[in-house]
Each structure stands twice: as structure tokens, then as C-alpha cells.
Structure 1
Amino acid sequence: MSLVSLPGLSQMIEEISQRHNLPKSSVQEALKEALIKGYERFRRSQSLDRQQFYDEYFDNFEVELDTDDEGFRILSTKKIVEEVENIDHHISLEEVQEVAPEAELGDEVVLDVTPNQKDFGRMAAIQTKQVLLQKLRDQQRKLIQEEFNELEGTVLNARVLRFERQDIIVAVQSAFGQPEVDAILPKREQLPNDNYRANASFKVLLKKVREGSHRGPQLLVSRGAAGLVVDMFSVEVPEIEEDIVRIVAVSREANPPSRYVGPRTKIAVDTLERDVDPVGACIGARGSRIQAVVNELRGEKIDVIRWSPDPATYIANALSPARVDEVVLLNAEERHALVLVPEDQLSLAIGKEGQNVRLAARLTGWKIDIKDIVLYKAEAEKQQLEAETNEEIDYEDEESPLEEMTLTPENHDLDEDNETENQE
């Protein structure tokens, strides 16, 4: 069998494998695909005027690498037919039976169609090199997808590499020994309190692995996702890792609509153990556990509250640190509640630019209205008094006496006549 020589083939595969951090098998597959494209280029250059090749014409061709003899062969799978219409896809029965008498019509045979070394050509070699680089990139993307697809929603360590407009390109490392891979941290996923500088390190949440061919990084990471807070609490609080304490809900506003309001998170926790305080477990001794999370998030304010199956209690807890006097569930089906607070707690319950009540509403899933309890009761009493007054007026209208008869001269004479008749 003929062979196109590739001196140093084994060493080349080894170097490419190390440089691109790919297994040798992936490098060999990429090289085979590249050599097939080079062979296609060679064939097309040999048949410019004689034959037009359609897209799937070379699907029955494959490359066989020979690392021992340092070269490659081109093999073609052909079908045995009575009358040959295409020499690249068919072969006659008579021709095959010369070497394989047992062959029959419809069988397939694999033949060596390797061109001569010098016929392969310089252009085909250039085509092979270009395709190889592209295939190696494709192999890298494929491995990234396979490796990081399972890591979506988990926290990774990141290091700032460079800046592209308002986005940041960071290097992340998986838990499987994969060297650093580029990822993109978009502007909308950044924290306003972060100080992004070259080589700065921090934790990010792997939000999505983009599939297909994309220019630039495939990994989309976030500093503003609520899952980042959940994961960091899971690391800092052993009770969460051991399922003693569970995180029921999280509401986070990492990028507030106003620059005068800082990032803030509310997290609801619960436990089935009577002797365990879930809020205290998350805060830690002297706030050590929650402070570790706050430090990683560059001072973000975090409220840990106790979850409750009772909506009124849960809503009151969610408005922490404000003190709530009463929660009125106006409409359970539409999940609409009214919260009454003292006057000195009103601004605290609402929060700066409404952030506290906004996060509480997201955390509980209820629409929350907040009112001053004194003003609310005064208004309620006023409305009740007006309602009672209206009811009295309506009652008087309904029970009014019968209209009195108005005496006229005719009526007066009639009455006198009746009286005279009675005397007679």
C-alpha cells in the first residue's frame, strides 16, 4: 500500500496535544479530517474541467494514519456493481473477483487510493494546515462543552485576563484538571462594588455554556446571579451541606436601578430540626459565616430570614430589619397583602428607593402594600363612621311617616256634612 510521508508525525501529534491541551485521539481525528479536506482540494485541482464534485462526494473516503511509518493513506469504500458509472464510488464485479472470487454484487470493498507524494501538492498541504487549525479549535470547543455542561450553575474560581469594551474576559478552571479556559463576564452580570483589575481573582457562577461555533469564549459567567450566594452559603455553612438547614428562596438585586442604592440579597432558610436555629447557623458565631460571604461579594448587604408556611409570618420576616405590627392578607388567590408598621418603621420597611419591599415581594411571591398603622386605623375609623352615617340616612328614608293629607275648603265642608249626618 502506498503512503504519503509525514516526517515527525508522532512528535507533531504529541506537541499539538500539549499545546492545545487536547487528548492525542482528538488531535488524530482533527488531523484525519484536515487531510481529507486536503485530498479534496487535490482532487478538485486535478478535475477542474472534467468533473464537478457535489458536497457529499467524498463521504466514502477516509484517512488512515500510520504513526509507525510516519505517513497517511487515503482509503475509499466502493460498491460492487455490474456497470461502473462512477469510479470513485463503484467497482466492477470482474475486477474484484480477480483478487476476491467470493465477492458478490452489492458488496462493499475498501481500496487504497492514496496519491503520489509529489502529486499531493503544495496547495493541498496548505489547505490541510488551515483545516487542521480550525478542527483543533472545534475539538477544543467540543471538549469545553462536554466538560462544562455538567458544571452549569456551579461556582468556579476566575481570574481577570483582559477587557473588551464593557465586558471582562476571565480565565476559569474546572474541577476535572482542565487548564484555564476563557469565559466572558458581561457588564450586566458584574457587581458595582467589584474592583476589576488585571489578574484579580474572585468567584463566579457558570451561568451558561453556549453551543455551536462562537467567536470568543463559550462560557458565560456571572457575579450577580442569586445562585452565587446560595453556593457560597453552602460552602460556609456545614448545616446546609448536611441538609440540616435548607435554603427555601433567594431574592437578589445585584445591579440596582439607581447608583445610590447598593446591592442587596434576601435569603429565606428553614430547618426540620427543633434544636437548630437556621438563621443563626447561617450567620455564625459573631457573624463569621455571613461575613465571609459578604467579603467575597465586596460588602453586599445580606438579610437572612426564617421561612414560614404561614404567609403573614413569612411576609413579616421578609421585611426584616423593619418591625411589622400586622399583616392583612387582602386576597389569597391574587397573593395580595397589606402590611401595617409603626411610623418610625415605615421608611425602613420600604427601603431606599423601595428596595427592601421589592426584594421581600420577590422572596415571598406576594404583592405587598405598606402603610402607617396609625394613619391606616384613623382612615379606617373615618370610613366606618361615614358608612354608619350613610346607613342611618338610608334607614330614615325607608321608615319616613305617611304623607299627611292637606285640608282644602272642599275637604273641610265634607267633614262637617259627615258630622251632621252622624248627629241625626
Structure 2
Amino acid sequence: MSREILTVVETVSNEKGVGREAIFQALEQALVAATKKKFYEHTTASEARLRVEIDRKTGEYRTFRQWEVVADEDHEMPACQDAISDVDPAEWSIGDIRELEVESIEFGRIAAQIAKQVIVQKIREAERALVADAYEDKLGDLIYGEVKKQTKDGFIIDLGDGAEAYLAKEESIPKEMLRPKQRINAILFNVNREGRGAQLQLSRARPEMLIALMSKEVPEIAEEIIEIKAAARQPGVRAKISVKTNDHRIDPVGACIGMRGTRIQAVQQELNGERIDVVVWSDDPAQYIASALEPADVSGIVLDEDTFSADIIFATNEQLARAIGSQGQNVRLASELTGYKLNMMLEDEYRARQSSENQQYLDMFVERLDIDADLAEALVEMGFTSLEEVAYVPAETFEEIGLDEETVGVLQERAKEATLTDVLREQQNMQHATEELLAMEGMTPEVAQALAQKGICTVDDLADQAIDDIIDIDGLDTDKAGQLIMKARESWFN
């Protein structure tokens, strides 16, 4: 019997390349299952907890039944629990495991059949763990493999040494034809240690694929003389990659393109002819955006760094069309590359918009500050766009338009009064939560006030809402919003 166990362990370990310890553990689990099936399946002790211990040297094994020591009030499963009052408290404590050796099942046909499934499963888990361990540190790396076969939703890629990876169709380059036996490069973007689904997941469509190929083809990138800052792709069609040189003697664009374009062509060929624009990165967002929009010539850029948006101005329709590109490719990739939302417009359109905005500011200053149009226009030209700015900027700011100290004082006092009037009006129009809503269980003053701003001022108002109506309020998630709504509806049921 013991010799048979050692033979099984040795054979499986050698054939499958799985460690002996994993096989021993699988056998122990199989013997536990077989013992339960034979001795406890039709008894009240079917919930019994068992443990099998195999001697790793001799193959001999023993079986133990276990009981966990629990508090009297938790003693619900006598088959695997002992109440603390039923054992010697000097010897046992709550949480201890009491063991008693019981009869062991023979390692014969019954145990072997039950063990087969457990062993196979353990071997699969061990094999998956070995593969995961081998590829865990290769996440983000370029992987070379051979197309083994095509499935309904992707391709199985043979990586050699018994390892396989999966390239889903959505992670492959559109319209690319991959055939069995074809050798390909792809990025390893996920190692799945769970028991289901593809274990090694590849991609040829992600920006990281382009970055890895460029690093492979351009030695200066691997040597960190040139640094890749960002990449954006429309797989198989067009891509942009921004680079920065750490040695000002080296042109980063020229180094990436190579002599007569040899380096960039090698990358394009690997990506099924994808056109690649190499952009010089700049820490000046306006310059970076202008470079990203090439080959179009930009006339002007107005940045809003708080919202990461920019107005891009062009002199002609031709330049605007170049910037947008075929089906919006160029501007979409430039936006993704720079991280800015890009609003494209012609100079005439921009001037018209600016004129309209300036007129609004001018009218506001004339009406609210009771000043003439010339002074209001001077304020607008200085860049003032709100009453608060006029009220609280340093007085010396107005020196460039020739205002004396007394006039500045009067102007800022009027601006402060107008600002205060707006605040008071806003507070008067502000709705407030009722005391009943504020006192509701689970409610906070901040959430109650936010609800009131939505017109939800009473408990009945809240009861009429759906979760989606209030989920955007800070401090509320789906569960919390649902709890508050159900609490408000209690009066309906009562």
C-alpha cells in the first residue's frame, strides 16, 4: 500500500513536472474524500471533518477525525464541533482542534478512482501556478510565439515549453490575418491565476505594444538616451508616440525613424502597416499639443489647465481639415496623447466667440458697477471676467489703465457690494432640508443639504426618488443611497 503511494507520487511528478509535495497533498485530499464516502456518507456524521497524513518517506498514512472547540452557544454541529463545557477546560480552549485517530481506508480501487479527479485538478492548478510564476515578471514585455489555432473569439498562441497564451480578437489588430504556424509578437498584459479563463493574455492592439516595439528597434530607447513619454493608437491604421531626448546632441525623432526610415518601417511592418507619427514631447502643454497635431499648422492655442481642455485656432479650412484628419483620426490621437480635450475652430469663429463673451462681460460691468463703456472695455481688455476679480485684486493692478486711488476704491467697493448681493440672493433662493429629513437615521447634514439643492427637502420627497436620482451626491454610494430611500419609505409600510 505504501509502495503504491510512493510509486504514484514519483510517476506523476516525473510525467507532469509537478512537485512531489503537491502530489502528496492531492492524495491526502483524495483519501479524505474516499474515507467520507465509505464511512460517513449515510450517517449523521456526514459533516465530519477529517485529516489524512501521509509520511513523505515511507508512504504510510493515518486518518484523524477533528472537532473544533467552540463556545456553548455556538455548538450547532456536533459532527465537527465540541462544546467547551464538554471538554476539559484545563486542556482545551475555544478555537482549538481536537483530533482522534480513526480507521483509514485502503488505498485501492475506491480511493484511486476518487483520487484521480483530485489529482488531475491539483496537477492542473500546479501547472497553472508554474506557468504563472514563470511569466509573472514578464508582464508588459514583448512575447514571441507561434499561432497554434484560431478559436471563435481569438487565437491560441504557443509560447514553447508547454505554455500557451490567448490573443482575443478585440486585442488583435483589426483586419489582420493570422494563420497557424505564423510567428508573432504581442504584449503580455495579464497573468490570470484563477482557475477559469485564459491564463496568459496577450495584446497587439494596446499602446504598450507600440512602445515595446520601438524600444526593441531603437537602441537609444533601451539605453534610456531617448525616453518614450506617451503613445496613442488606432490599431492597424495610425498611431502617435511622443519622445524626449536626455542628450541634446541627439535628435529623438530622427533616431526613432532611423536611416531612410528603416527603424520605423520595421515597427510599421510588425503592426500590419500602421502609420506612426513620432512627436517631440515638451513640458509646455501648448507646444506639445501643436507638435501632436502635425502636419497641421496651428495659429493659436488657448489653454485651460484646470479642466485639461484647449481651444485650437487655425487660419484656414485646409489646416483645420489636416488637424482633424481622416474620420477624426489625427485630433483624436493627439487628444489621447496629450491628455487634453481639444476644441478645433477657425480664427473667425474664435474671434466671434471672444467678441460675444467680451460683450457679456462689458455689459455686466456697465450695469453692475455703474461705469461707462470705455472703463468697462478697459477692464475686459485687462482680462477681468467677474465681479469677484474686480473686487479683490490688489489696487495697483489698475494702474495700467490710469485710474487714481480714489476711483479704484470706489470701483472695488461697488464690486464687493454687487458680489455680496449675489451671495445673499443665492442664499435666499437656496432650499433647505426639513428637520425631519435631517433627523432621519443614517442622514448627515452634508447629504441632507445636497439633497435639498436637488429639491429633495422632506422625507416624502426622498421616498419618491430612485437610487440613480441621488447617487451623484458626495458621500453616497449605491448601498447607502438605497438604505436612505428605504428608510424614507418606512412610513408607507407603517
- TM-score, scaled to structure 1: 0.70
Q: Following the alignment from structure 1 to structure 2, what is the Cα–Cα distance between the partners of residues 18 and 319? A: 60
Amino acid at match of 2:61: R
Amino acid at match of 2:223: E
Pairing partner for 2:228 from 236, 247, 258: 247
Tell me whether 1:58 sits opposite 2:50 in the alignment: yes
Pairing partner for 1:184 from 163, 166, 178: 166
CA contact (8 A) 2:325 2:331 kept: yes
| Aligned match of 1:420 | none
Pairing partner for 2:212 from 209, 218, 231: 231
Amino acid at match of 1:359: L
Q: Following the alignment from structure 2 to structure 1, what is the Cα–Cα distance between the partners of residues 2 and 11? A: 21
CA drift at 1:46? 2.9
Structure 2, unmatched stretches of 5+, are: 68-77, 83-89, 367-371, 374-494
CA deviations on 1:161-204 (whole Å, 9 max, x unpaired) are 2222122222235xxxxx14222211211101421111211111
Pairing partner for 2:321 from 323, 347, 350: 347
Amino acid at match of 1:354: G
**Within 5 Å, which residues of 2 pair with 1:69-80?**
71-74=59-62, 76=64
Pair 1:108–1:253, CA change in 2 (3 A): closer
Pair 1:198–1:32, CA change in 2 (3 A): same
Q: Following the alignment from structure 1 to structure 2, what is the Cα–Cα distance between the partners of residues 381 and 43? A: 81
Pair 1:128–1:381, CA change in 2 (3 A): closer
Q: Following the alignment from structure 1 to structure 2, what is the Cα–Cα distance between the partners of residues 332 and 154? A: 34
CA contact (8 A) 1:64 1:75 kept: no
CA contact (8 A) 1:338 1:368 kept: yes
Pair 1:5–1:13, CA change in 2 (3 A): closer
Pair 1:127–1:340, CA change in 2 (3 A): same
**Within 5 Å, which residues of 2 pair with 1:168-179?**
168-173=155-160, 179=161
| Aligned match of 1:217 | 198
| Aligned match of 1:291 | 265
CA deviations on 1:297-333 (whole Å, 9 max, x unpaired) are 11111110101122221111101222x1422215332
Pairing partner for 1:30 from 23, 28, 35: 23
| Aligned match of 2:435 | none
Pair 1:53–1:234, CA change in 2 (3 A): same
CA deviations on 1:350-387 (whole Å, 9 max, x unpaired) are 111101001001111122223345x558x659969x97
| Aligned match of 2:2 | 4
- After superposing the two structures, state which structure 1 stretch, 218-227 or 104-113, moved more: 104-113
Q: Following the alignment from structure 1 to structure 2, what is the Cα–Cα distance between the partners of residues 30 and 159? A: 32
CA drift at 1:223? 0.8
Pair 1:112–1:330, CA change in 2 (3 A): closer
CA drift at 1:211? 2.8
**Within 5 Å, which residues of 2 pair with 1:83-122?**
115=104, 119-122=106-109
Instruction: Give aligned pairs, total.
Output: 343
Pair 1:4–1:285, CA change in 2 (3 A): same
Pair 1:49–1:347, CA change in 2 (3 A): closer
CA drift at 1:39? 4.3
Q: Following the alignment from structure 2 to structure 1, what is the Cα–Cα distance between the partners of residues 117 and 354? A: 84
Q: Following the alignment from structure 1 to structure 2, what is the Cα–Cα distance between the partners of residues 226 and 138? A: 32
| Aligned match of 1:46 | 39
Pairing partner for 1:364 from 318, 321, 338: 338
Structure 1, unmatched stretches of 5+, are: 80-85, 91-103, 174-178, 255-261, 400-424
CA RMSD of aligned residues (A): 3.8
CA deviations on 1:59-94 (whole Å, 9 max, x unpaired) are 4x322234xx6x442365999xxxxxx99999xxxx
CA deviations on 1:224-273 (whole Å, 9 max, x unpaired) are 0111111111111111111111011111122xxxxxxx521100001132
Q: Following the alignment from structure 1 to structure 2, what is the Cα–Cα distance between the partners of residues 317 and 41? A: 71
CA deviations on 1:119-149 (whole Å, 9 max, x unpaired) are 4442211011221111101111222232322
| Aligned match of 1:410 | none
Tell me whether 1:153 sits opposite 2:140 in the alignment: yes
Structure number with larger C-alpha Rg: 1
CA contact (8 A) 2:32 2:50 kept: no
Q: Following the alignment from structure 2 to structure 1, what is the Cα–Cα distance between the partners of residues 112 and 305? A: 73
Q: Following the alignment from structure 2 to structure 1, what is the Cα–Cα distance between the partners of residues 185 and 243? A: 23
Amino acid at match of 2:172: Q
- Secondary structure at the counterpart of residue 210 of structure 2: helix
CA contact (8 A) 1:4 1:115 kept: no
| Aligned match of 2:179 | 197
CA drift at 1:113? 6.7
- After superposing the two structures, state which structure 1 stretch, 134-143 or 41-50, moved more: 41-50
- Secondary structure at the counterpart of residue 229 of structure 1: helix
Amino acid at match of 1:33: A
Pair 1:348–1:17, CA change in 2 (3 A): farther
- Secondary structure at the counterpart of residue 359 of structure 1: helix
> Relative contact order: is structure 1 or structure 2 higher (C-alpha 8 Å, sep ≥ 6)?
1
Structure ranking higher in helix proportion: 2
| Aligned match of 2:118 | 131
CA contact (8 A) 2:301 2:313 kept: yes
Pair 1:155–1:180, CA change in 2 (3 A): farther
- TM-score, scaled to structure 2: 0.61
* Percent identity of paired positions between Structure 1 and Structure 2: 31
Pair 1:227–1:170, CA change in 2 (3 A): same
